[in-house]
A and B are shown apart, each in its own frame.
Chain A
Amino acid sequence: MSPQTKSTFKVGKAQLDLLEELTNANGVSGNEIDIREIIRKKVAPYADEIKVDGMGNLLVVKHAKKPNAIKVMLDAHMDEVGFMIVEEDGDGLYEFEQVGGGDERQFVSKPVCVGSQKLPGVIGSKPIHLATDDEMHSVISQQSMRIDLGPAGKGKAKRGDYAAYATKFIRSGDAIFAKALDNRLGCATLIELLRTAPDHIELLTAFTVQEEIGLRGAMVAAYDFYPQLAIAVDSTPAFDFERPDGNENTQYNCKLGGGPAIYIADRGTLSDPRLIRFLTRIAEENKINFQYRQPGGGGTDSGALHVTRGGIPSVSVSVPGRYAHTAVMVARISDWQDTLTLLQNALAAVTPEILSGDRA
């Protein structure tokens, strides 16, 4: 392919409205139906094939306009961390369990939305006035909290009902405050890339289920598509604060404002070096702001994608976000825009030749 002219993706009102709609909707792992229905409507005008598989993944294909096109899979998980109702204690107070790896330290006093009836509630516990010295210095256990639906919620929720944070989307300048940016940012990214897909690739997009509880949707989606390469698009935590002791912060994972975070290594995947080089080249040639996510723990759907069947060269690209797996995350519009720009330019430039040599 000849060198591309950089196309800059502009995040405008349409994209922010899309992200607002996706983050305000609820889709705790195993209960992604609302998110799936929103996405299905959004992608319908651009898709050649749409199907929902046995696990609930939404698989959307946009065919190449040329024969023998490279098969590229993009993956973004639809699900978010949340809760499940276990037992009513009476008077609209409910015991609950976590779904996915939530941050127990911040459960208390968060508004939630319960069940298909979308019952309003709040997670409650002992108030500070009554807390003992010990309790003041320890994490309140989830077992001692209740989801409080008030008297109107008495008998309304039942065992197995899902609950999600009720946080609503706010934009302030370049910042976005919302729940479930992990990973509605990825979903919105894939929708936009379907809209703008180039003609020379067979674009296979998977909006997957149950990532937060073990990459379960991605396994079967990748088996079905079995592409030549795969990119998981996700949101990754940024902990880019100054350290209180004045020492250099050496474990920030990634930084807000640093652009898309390209994964090299995490707990589940050693990204294909050919794809890291390719994305790096696209970013550098087009002067797109990007960063490498610090190698270390964590993981994305790539962990399932790359070991599917005979193996799939895989990499992840994430939009940085602070306060992951809590009731509200913070991300930057500029980082999302740079992520869209990187991936759009990468799709425009991708050819089978980038995988022609053996893996490093």
Chain B
Amino acid sequence: MKCDIVLAGVGGQGILSIATVLGYAALENNFYLKQAETHGMSQRGGAVQSYLRLSDKPVYSDLIPFGKADLILSVEPMESLRYLPYLSPTGYVVTNTTAFKNVTNYPETELIMNEIKKLPRAVAIDAEAIAKEIGNSKASNMVMLGAATPFIDIDIESIENGIREIFGRKGEEIVNLNLKALHAGRAFAEANK
């Protein structure tokens, strides 16, 4: 098993919660893992990424080589395109469709969606809308994680355990909301991949 994931988003969008859940799930399965994060200046609204590498063999580099990522998981549509040079010829792009516009020259959303549609293996999902339907738009990152799970070779039970571990101290209600979000995202991706 080997899965190299580029997590993408904008500083402040909380992509690291996704990485943390996957990290717990990987440890539960005794997988090797390395996860490089962006700290510092870019956290102020800049483009941020995390390289998450999971494998049943030792992982050496903290960075994913170009052309080797199995998955780009982006919580923002334009950011999903920024890391295409990392995507392997057989890799998937799973992206949120809600744009985060904090720059004045942000391209027209339609142009971005066209680029995403051109990709051979992509799932575009309105994570906010799905999260809202479930009860809280704040769960959108777990919707995104759910949408990526069909492309990550880890038991869904382990990922559920990761959510229980990360959100446990916030109470049962929050845990259940995020579990629901996870499964809603997963169902969407299964239907639209």
Are A and B part of the same complex?
no
